A = this chain, B = another copy of it.
């Protein structure tokens, strides 16, 4: 595998906001002109921008998935930036690199209930990055991500 798979050189595939009231936030962004993707459901809202996915996820659900409590002072997780990688093995490689570079591993590669595999690290300020391999997304030649495999 080439070295680019162990860097963050690619796009931010997903920006996920942890929201207090999913219905309220969904209504706001739909009113603002974003179009929900068909894979949205009652637990999460997905919007496909040009080559990037934007998601609204209840903040407690996001914090739970990251492995932190939304209520811990200074440890709340309100946003996650994700890089989708083409191979599952890239997750371990990127997490290891983040640790060497001064980041903190929040969750080793493991499988969430919705499929795929993901791990999390925090940068020096505590900003949360998810490294994800997801067979339900497609990564195009420019490194941009699309929901669905076609």
Contact = CB atoms under 8 A, between A and B. Distances in A.
Interface of A: 4, 6-12, 15, 17, 19-21, 24-25, 27-29, 31-35, 49-52, 54, 59, 78-79, 81, 97-98, 100-103, 123-125, 127, 142-144
> Closest 9 A-B residue pairs measured CB to CB?
A7-B33, A31-B101, A8-B32, A11-B50, A50-B142, A11-B49, A50-B143, A9-B33, A19-B125
Contacts of A29: 8, 123
A7, A123, A142: residue with the most chain B Cβ atoms closer than 10 Å: A123
Contact of A25 (B79, B81, B125): B125
Contacts of A142: 50-51
Number of copies: 2
B28 A123 contact: yes
Nearest to A49: B11
Contact of A102 (B19, B31, B124, B125): B31
